[in-house]
A and B are shown apart, each in its own frame.
Chain A
Amino acid sequence: MKKMTGAQIVVESLLAEGVDTVFGYPGGAILPTYDALIQNPALRHILVRHEQGAAHMAEGYARVSGKPGVVIVTSGPGATNTVTGIADAYMDSTPLVVLAGQVPTSMIGNDAFQEADLTGITRPCTKHNYLVRDVNDLARTIKEAFYIAGSGRPGPVLVDLPKDVQNAMGTFKYPGAVELRGYKPTIKGNDRQIEKAIEAIEASERPLFYVGGGVQWSDASAPLTELVRGLKIPITTTLMALGVFPSNDPLCLGMLGMHGGYWTNMAVQNCDTLIAVGARFDDRVTGRVSDFAPKAKTIIHIDIDPSSISKNIKVHIPIVGDIREVVLEMLQRVKSQEGLAPRQKLWTEWHRDIMQWKAEKPLPYEIGDPEGPSKPRAIIEELYNLTKGEAVVVTDVGQHQMWTAQMMPFHHHRSWLTSGGLGTMGYGLPAGIGAYFAAPNRPIVVINGDGGIQMNIQELATAVQYKVPVKVIIMNNYYLGMVRQWQEKFYDGRYSHSYMDAMPNFVKLAEAYGAAGFRVEKGKDLAPTLQAALATPGPVLVDVVIPQSEGVFPMVPAGSAMHEMLFA
């Protein structure tokens, strides 16, 4: 066994874990680890401009690669700056391993320079966290951190590394396996429950699949698609699950919830059997809980996290297990097509009813004035035409996010990054940069708002430094659009502090960073400019002026039932 410093153990452990890229920012308490990093070029380090950016980049990397994203930051402010990203990852079940420097163990608790109690601060927003006090615990702790972050319901894990532990000499032996007495996720679903679920589905008249981000994390997109297509049951995906089922399949009803399609929400409200898979009945999905899916006699819920089951909505047939395992098991057990034929006649009628709702009230669509601002939906259509569904599409938070979620077709899973649970403005640009390091050959399109882009704009410098060809499209209405929309609808049009009076010149700003900048003021210039922007190498910022008062519809006001929708 080799003797080495704690800092070297950190780097060796990351390499043993198969990590190729880390996102970070150096500082006093993490300097020993940075010294070990530069001596080990096998580990690529991406220098960010703000630690929050590092956390979101690691999230983007994790979401596209399926592997935990790694962040290295210093103590105190370096680590507290990652907290928003950690909380974001926690809400969206994204695996992160955050390695934070800490003041030497002898100084912990003394209010030392750049000291903050990071295990205390992050306890409620991490899956687990550690303060390493002995260099000989270091390798095992990092092994456990990766195992916890990536297994079960994934999530962020923080490891606090006091400076003296990084400097101490220890023996390095990376453990092959992890033994945690208190953590054994259930993988295989209960046989009897799976049987009951299949019986309920086969006896249903108006069944509906409702699938969430868990499908992506358990890599269940392919078997789920096979199951849904085999059964011929309509399916709606949550915001987090766009792309796990192909959008162009007639069975796909798109996103449900607060900004879901009329037909999609009506399908939820009228189904008699709801099959929830890796989704958590978030309030943006259910609306008023007491009136959610009122006609559903049976709700089936497949999830790896037992605490998600019957948390918001009472579930009749819970199945705890890994979604991929459970769905593969269900695939084996469903009846043959001939056996299902009489049911499928009913299901086809049900699907026809849903399509009737869609014909009655499709998503609002109007052709914009070629001399006026571009319509948001035209921007999304144009981006799709240019990328053919092969791009990784990233958004920030707000109106542009909902328009994209409603309109953008997806053909593949791991192609859609957005901040769902926490709704973190400033997520888009860094997440898009992180995605590039996981999928360097795929186009990366970041759709952003004029508010959101300014919340982590500094990461343009990171994109320029590492020549990340991220294409950022700003839907610029000079407003915090979603806030403005709520103020219009629910606060009698009192637009309290939602207008940005001093909008930067984004073209010059991009150029100042060394990126390319474009601006589209008239609808007629949209298509050629987007085409030129996407063909420009390196990072590109496109500032597209959109109408100031455009809203996202349909909309279920907070606290209303899913069928109580506003259409304008």
Chain B
Amino acid sequence: MRHTISILVENEFGVLARVAGLFSGRGFNIRSLSVAETLDPTLSRVTLVTEGDDQIVEQITKQLNKLISVLKVIDFQDAVHVEREMALVKVAVDERTRNELLNIVSVFRAKVIDIDPRSFIIEVTGDEGKINAMLNLLAPLGIKEIVRTGKVALHRGGQMLSAPARAETVELNKRKTQKEKAA
């Protein structure tokens, strides 16, 4: 099962290597990754997509929490949230295909951001399914090159990923109450 996980980390030298090294060292998988500074410039937010059964994902979050540079880890699995990724697609274009291409762009609410006599660059944002659907339609026109970002995600509504005073305790108590409810 795929999980989108957001990690709040100290914005410091080597922190990405710690996170990535944990995944490779323990045989976990990273399917996509995106990292940038947060509103608080001392913190960075890592969003990654990983996969595994419940036990593996539980280990992943516990091991991440164990890193000194990690302040908080959340798994969006059971949370109400929005996810987006972006792709830039360079598509071959000529007199015959220009209109069809522009139609697809319009239907997907994508944007043309570069025009050349023989190719366009399209910018599309959405969830993974939307981007895949658009790529399927563009394929017959001749995709020359694509680049995709990792996934980013935010909770809907008031819930936020903010630096807690006691990261570890907060996480654990939450898990325990969930388990008790399940029991």
Segment of B84-92, B105-113, B115-123, B166-174 engaged in the interface with chain A: B166-174
Write the B43-66 contact mask toward A (1 if CB under 8 angstroms, else 0): 000000000000100110011011
Binds A, one of B17-25, B29-37, B135-143, B153-161: B17-25
**Interface majority SS on B: helix, strand, loop or mixed?**
helix
With A124-B25, A311-B59 as given contacts, are A185 and B168 in contact (CB-CB < 8 Å)?
Answer: yes
What separation, in Å, do the CA atoms of A310 and B172 have in the docked complex? 14
Q: A180-B68, A181-B10 are in contact. Are A307 and B59 (CB under 8 A)?
A: yes
Interface pair B172/A186, CB less than 8 Å apart: yes
Which chain A residues lie closer than 8 Å to B70 at the CB level?
182
Contacts of A131 in B (CB 8 A): 13-14
Q: Are A306 and B21 within 8 A (Cβ)?
A: no
Q: Are A305 and B66 within 8 A (Cβ)?
A: yes
Report chain B residues within 8 Å CB of A190: 173, 176
Cα A468 to Cα B2 with chains together (Å) = 57
Nearest B residue (CB) for A196: B180
* Among candidates A127, A183, A314, A320, residue contacting B172 with C-beta atoms closer than 8 Å: A320
Question: What 1/0 flags go to A309-324 for Cβ under 8 Å of B?
Answer: 1110010000010000
Given A182-B10, A306-B62, A310-B58, residue A123 in contact with residue B17 (CB < 8 A)? yes
Q: Which size class do A's interface residues fall under?
A: 20 to 34
Q: A498: CB under 8 A from chain B?
A: no
A310 and B55 contacting across the interface, CB-CB below 8 Å:
yes
Report how far A476 CA is from B25 CA in the complex, Å: 37
Separation of A184 and B70 alpha carbons in the complex (Å):
11
In the bound complex, residues from chain A placing their C-beta under 8 Å from that of B68 are 127-128, 148, 180, 182-183
Candidate in A124, A181, A310 with the most chain B CB atoms within 10 angstroms: A181
Asked if A176 lies at the interface with its beta carbon under 8 angstroms from chain B, I say: no
Q: By the criterion of a CB under 8 Å from any partner CB, how many residues of chain B are at the interface?
A: 28
Q: Does B146 contact A (CB under 8 A)?
A: no
Chain A residues closer than 8 Å to B18, beta-carbon distance:
123
Which residues from chain B contact A120 at a C-beta distance below 8 Å? 17
User: Chain B residues with Cβ under 8 A from A311's Cβ?
Assistant: 59
Q: Which residues of B contact A186 (CB under 8 A)?
A: 168-169, 172
* A 174-208 binary contact with B (CB < 8 Å = 1; else 0): 00000011111110001001000000000000000
Q: Is B67 an interface residue (CB 8 A)?
A: yes
A182 engages B71 (CB within 8 Å): yes
| Docked CA distance A476–B18 (Å) | 43
Residue A119 lies at the interface, judged by CB distance under 8 Å to chain B: yes
**For the complex, what is the distance from the CA of A110 to the CA of B67, rounded to whole Å?**
29
A90-133 vs B: 1/0 string, CB under 8 Å?
00000000000000000000000000000110011001100100
- B69 located at the interface, meaning its Cβ lies under 8 Å from any Cβ of chain A in the complex: yes
| Docked pose: A180 CA to B167 CA in angstroms | 11
In the complex, whether B163 has a CB less than 8 A from a CB of chain A is yes
- Take A124-B21, A131-B13, A310-B55 as given contacts and tell me if A181 and B168 are in contact as well, using a CB distance cutoff of 8 Å: no
A-B contact pairs, 10 of them (CB 8 A): A123-B14, A124-B21, A128-B67, A131-B13, A182-B9, A184-B169, A307-B59, A307-B62, A307-B63, A309-B62
